[in-house]
Structure 1
């Protein structure tokens, strides 16, 4: 009997490495596919090709991206952690809505941080680099409007982050980078759904001149004015898109009505 128990132990030990190896090989593959699905879904959500409020199930995600349940849950867990989707028990998932409050908060922070970045970058920027990005912001390409918005947002993000990088404050750069990522979704919803391209007038050109000249006060003034103007345009387009798509009611209550300002 002792020998039999020893033999069973040996057989169990021999079988463990095979199971462990299979698990080790399966986990990275599921993680890789889950991360790929996350990247694709995140881009769809940020570009508003998946509109705020859209509902979907795990099965739909698995079919669309040709992935298994483990990979699907990895992707959805990451999206939920970053606030892009929310779980609805027994009803799947929903793409997180966009509200007027989101626009207010993102641009309120930009209005404080962009002038700060401009002050720090005055006299330290690469003129040629900023001018290339400015031209890219204005370039009109013969593709559908959604792709035009994508190209504009990429160039615009590069322009503002180049200024933040020149300011030499790493925390400021990272914070603005996150805000610009959030703004991407707001602009895509507002301008993309409405089928129009943002018009930034001559603010970028004026900022370049002041930054190259080392005029920190003027650069900061233009930076703030630029964000204020773009906020008003974005707010108008987002409200119109929310109404048109009936995704979420863009209602802002007043103090008199008993709500938050």
Structure 2
């Protein structure tokens, strides 16, 4: 018979109380491992085993298997029968596809957001992109990507197009692993803030044509920088390169 106190709790809270401890720990393990994969602290293409992950993250087998199932469903890892798991690779084609969509969407967002942005908010976010970084390079990339994502999403939100916001949000999430592979592995930090400053000026002035032009140039420049670093990282780790219009074989 159910406890009367459980009947008085909201359904979600009661469900969380009833959730097995292994499931809760599995969700925590998923978050930890996903963060390591997305930040490329576990490199794309790496092979991992259950004992290694249990030791590294201090989780039990049942919790780990819940996390691994979710990671497999999200496409971040794949199972290798009797040999553990393989972390999903990042290819030059991934960079091409992500940036092709950004180049289509972000100039559109900038044009629609012209004259509608909060200048103080954008300046605050741009300052965060240029702010003092942690000493660890991996954390620097995490810090930069969060600040950069917030800057671009603020423009998308100002555009008033909710579908554009949702699509761009997903693309910027995918960008995290690409940028971490390129810049984190190469131990350098992106330097693109001057475009942010110019973009703020045009957006604030309501100059839709200029804002659109700067946004397109900004994404194209960052694409080329990222592709160069990703290719260097893939070559350094011996990972295969998928064909790409922006990869030189020379």
| Same fold, TM-score > 0.5, yes or no | yes
1:37-56 equivalences in 2 (<5 Å): 37-56=29-48
1:15-164 equivalences in 2 (<5 Å): 27-164=19-156
Deviation of the 1:133 alpha carbon: 0.8
Deviation of the 1:211 alpha carbon: 0.8
Taking structure 1 as the reference length, the TM-score comes to: 0.83
Residue of structure 2 equivalent to 1:10: none
Structure 1's consecutive aligned runs of 4 or more residues displaced over 3 angstroms after TM superposition are 24-27
Hey, what's the Cα distance between the residues in 1 that align with 2:165 and 2:244? 34
Whether the aligned pair in 2 keeps the contact of 1:187 and 1:234 (CA below 8 Å) is yes
Pair 1:249-2:240 in alignment: yes
- Give aligned pairs, total: 230
Hey, what's the Cα distance between the residues in 1 that align with 2:242 and 2:164? 32
Per-residue CA distance 1:140-167 (angstroms, 9 max, x = gap): 4251222211111110000001111111
The structure 1 residue matched to 2:218, chosen from 211, 226, 246, is 226
Deviation of the 1:122 alpha carbon: 1.1
The structure 2 residue matched to 1:169, chosen from 156, 161, 182, is 161
Whether the aligned pair in 2 keeps the contact of 1:121 and 1:168 (CA below 8 Å) is yes
Structure 2 gap segments, 5+ residues each:
1-15, 246-250
Whether the aligned pair in 2 keeps the contact of 1:140 and 1:148 (CA below 8 Å) is no
**Between Structure 1 and Structure 2, whose CA radius of gyration is higher?**
1
Structure 1 gap segments, 5+ residues each:
1-23, 255-261
Deviation of the 1:121 alpha carbon: 1.1
More divergent stretch after superposition (95-104 vs 25-34) = 25-34
Taking structure 2 as the reference length, the TM-score comes to: 0.87
Classify the secondary structure of the residue corresponding to 1:202.
Answer: helix
Whether the aligned pair in 2 keeps the contact of 1:190 and 1:240 (CA below 8 Å) is yes
RMSD of aligned residue pairs (Cα, Å): 1.8
Deviation of the 1:124 alpha carbon: 1.1
Deviation of the 1:28 alpha carbon: 2.7
